Structure 1
């Protein structure tokens, strides 16, 4: 009875309606799985994170992956023309000094460069364009660090003009970063996000305001990811996201993911920092998502740092950054961080 009452309340909250009773029952079955996962988490004495219901809590995993994920793991192709981050990092910068325990690129006082390198959280909508959002976030961060200007860069340009990927049907972060390095990116205000891939590339009618230099890659190394964050700003990660633990995340330090291998990776996020939760007694990564500010901790999540290896939900499987950027504008965007 409790599940049925929660189901009716969920449908009212998110204005859900279905074509017939058969579909209603099918949706109820999916909802019940998510609802019971929340209940189990709430009653766990060792829980370090909380879950909640979202508008997609009645979607199948395939439906969720198609519209709220969209990343494709880069594999061996990701390494072409890229530099292994461990070959160019200074090493030891994080191990000693004021940022050995925490770093956050969202604020100018919580990172070694003294600049904010993260634009506001956005929502990819029903387009599988997370890969483009992550690539744009990396471009924004490295531009802020290299040139001292925080720009809101066009995700739609990456979706429309990066022909190595498949728009709303998915793509690789490195494909988006390669476009940033070869063609540069315009401002969002000049090339706004449309939640579609059905329009022609309009890059020729907009002005590129920043261009990246060299792509850096890393896998399976916590220390290297920390050094990448310290020296070059936000770093991309491709994770597995289509399970209740991540899709239903509300708050806290997430210790359970959707995979413990590098298979099933389907969603790109941006690592913007790290820290330590004294209450949970856990070190964590701070990730920026592209599901709007109603998800997680105002659009962000904290995932437990677990040492070298795959990481929670595959966080350490594929990490990409850009070594430098050159801005062609000195106009600083004004964001509330």
Structure 2
């Protein structure tokens, strides 16, 4: 009898604890909705809270592991399942298409010797973090980032260019359904881009192309082999495609939990003395390290597999 009473007390305590945990989580969920301007009704509220609970537990479990080299943090994606996040924010590239679509070689892939190659380089301060929203236009943001960096380094010009023009007007890509950053770089060289204020971003593809030409033209595009990646990155940032499947809750530190199945275009913006890579994303400044991520050395997430630069 005594043991049964003890078991009952234990079950009641556990139930009370779980209720308290859920109450705390729900309070956190309400605060999170206010912070990110989210609003739901009916069953949608229940479903989003369910995802929030799962993600909160995932983040807490990860951060309690002392062997992890990076932290996770709840952010604007906290109400999304892994599947939803992938569908909304990642593009499922076919590697052969990425590498073969009118690719321009970098001196027949011979190793490029750059006397200016340094032990570390950091271009993060020359490029502004933007937010693609729920439009799979990362290819446009990556290409625009590469062009903006080229203008800054080569022409001493600081300019914010229009991703929307590429999404609306580059017929070789697919707007908010994905595209090719190498072909976008060729579009910029052939057509030119407008200032982002002239052709502002609206997080969706317009019904028609507003301006198919612009005053800001580069001279061309060039692919960058893994052998030359670091040397070229010393000169200015490169647009790359990576596996960002597990990036949803990245909050800081050195990330390495990925493979090389590329699904997202970003901008490589430097490396440190330990050969960790600095990368600019297009998910706003509330994600990661104020919009950036640090990747472990080597071909982490496939970063050196498919790289391009403006020339």
TM-score by length of structure 2 reads 0.82
What's the counterpart of residue 219 of structure 2? Answer: 212
1:93 aligns with 2:111: no
Q: Which runs of 5+ in 1 are unaligned?
A: 108-117, 277-281, 325-337
1:228 aligns with 2:232: yes
Contact 1:79 1:217 in 2 (8 A): no
What's the counterpart of residue 261 of structure 1? Answer: 260
CA distance in 1, matches of 2:129, 2:254: 19
Q: Kindly state the Cα deviation for residue 83 of structure 1 after the two structures are TM-superposed.
A: 2.7
Higher percent of residues as helix? 2
The worse-fitting range, judged by mean Cα deviation, of 188-197 and 155-164 is: 188-197
Aligned residues: 289
What's the counterpart of residue 250 of structure 2? Answer: 249
Q: Which residue, 272, 276, 280 being the options, matches 1:275?
A: 272
Q: Aligned runs of 1:120-135 on 2, under 5 Å?
A: 120-135=128-143
CA 287–261 in structure 1, closer or farther in 2 if over 3 Å, else same? closer
Q: Which runs of 5+ in 2 are unaligned?
A: 1-17
What's the counterpart of residue 15 of structure 2? Answer: none
RMSD: 2.5
Contact 1:70 1:168 in 2 (8 A): no
Contact 2:102 2:183 in 1 (8 A): no
CA distance in 2, matches of 1:173, 1:190: 22
Q: Kindly state the Cα deviation for residue 86 of structure 1 after the two structures are TM-superposed.
A: 5.7
CA distance in 1, matches of 2:200, 2:210: 11
What's the counterpart of residue 9 of structure 1? Answer: 28
1:284 aligns with 2:276: yes
Q: Which residue, 179, 182, 193 being the options, matches 2:190?
A: 182
TM-score by length of structure 1 reads 0.77
What's the counterpart of residue 60 of structure 1? Answer: 81
CA 37–86 in structure 1, closer or farther in 2 if over 3 Å, else same? farther
1:104 aligns with 2:113: no
Contact 1:121 1:292 in 2 (8 A): yes
Contact 1:229 1:273 in 2 (8 A): yes
1:293 aligns with 2:285: yes
Partner SS for 2:228: helix
CA distance in 2, matches of 1:157, 1:60: 31
Contact 1:85 1:216 in 2 (8 A): yes
CA distance in 2, matches of 1:124, 1:71: 16
Q: Kindly state the Cα deviation for residue 89 of structure 1 after the two structures are TM-superposed.
A: 6.7
Q: Deviations over 1:131-185 (max 9, x none)?
A: 1000100111122233222221111111110011111122121231121122111
